Amino acid sequence: MPKQTNTKQKIIDAAIDLIAKNGYKGASVRKIAAEVGIRESAIYNHFKNKEEILKVIVSQIFATPFETHDIEERAKKGKSFLHQFAVAYKLVSFDRKMEKLFRVLMIELFQNGQLRESFLQELHQKEIQQLSKAFFVMMQEGLIRSADPMFMAQEFLSPLFYIRLQVSLLRIDSKSTAPIAAHFEKHVDFFWESIAL
């Protein structure tokens, strides 16, 4: 079984590299298989099709930085939790490989209905709902004022997503991202001021 898992991860890694270089259409199953060093048919032992590979990649790009099982304990730290969340988001945003792939996926979202559905599901299920749980815990702990935790989660995440988009836009034109590097942390400070008791 470890060999199968290893091959699956190699397929994902190869797909990330090829999509980042050639776009989604340019990363054929044949090219992915050649990159991994396996037969094209072997990919179908791990994935139904290329779309499924892309869904796994999307889930990695927009995955929550914290595991589900410890979100409630971490949330009890209040502002510290939000800071850790934003820093994890920042690290992914400035990772050159993931940033390149993020750019490609933003383009693909406008052309691929299934990918849009997957993106919205990942963003909603893995990010908004997890953050919503965290804000609910913070309310119960008396750290923040009472409000709709789902809306609060959307309000917290949206600027982080926008800053991530800014990073990509600046890099397209080879401009410095230094002026916005601290925006992730500044957002946490500003947001916390508006919700803390």
Q: What is the pLDDT of residues 71-116, one digit of tens each?
A: 889 999 999 999 999 998 899 889 887 887 788 788 778 887 877 8
Same domain (yes/no): 40, 121: no
- 162 C-beta neighbours (distance < 10 Å), count: 11
170 shares a domain with 127: yes
Are both 94 and 44 inside the same structural domain? no
Residue 17 pLDDT: 86
Coil, helix or strand at residue 196? strand
Instruction: Give the confidence band of 64 by pLDDT, cuts at 50, 70, 90.
Output: low
Whether residues 77 and 125 share a domain: the answer is: yes
The token pair at 142 is 């008396």
Angle, helices 96-109/79-94, rounded to nearest 10 degrees: 90
Range of the domain at 25: 2-56
Q: State whether 36 and 121 are in the same domain.
A: no
pLDDT reading at 65 higher than 70: no
Residues 6+ apart with CB under 8 A from 95: none
Tokens 């980042």 belong to residue:
20
- Position 1 pLDDT exceeds 50: no
Q: Tell me 124's DSSP state.
A: I
Q: Are residues 92 and 172 in the same domain?
A: yes
Domain termination residue (choose one: 19, 34, 56): 56
Torsion angle defined by CA atoms of residues 64, 65, 70 and 71, in that order, rounded to the nearest 10 degrees: -60
Residues 42 and 98 in one domain: no
Asked which of 56, 85, 100 is the last residue of a domain, the reply is 56
Number of domains in the chain: 2
Same domain, yes or no, for 43 and 88?
Answer: no
CA dihedral sign of residues 29, 35, 41, 42: negative
The residue with tokens 């809306």 is: 151
- Rg, the chain, Cα only: 19
Q: Are residues 17 and 102 in the same domain?
A: no
Instruction: Supply the DSSP symbol for 144.
Output: B
25, 66: one domain: no
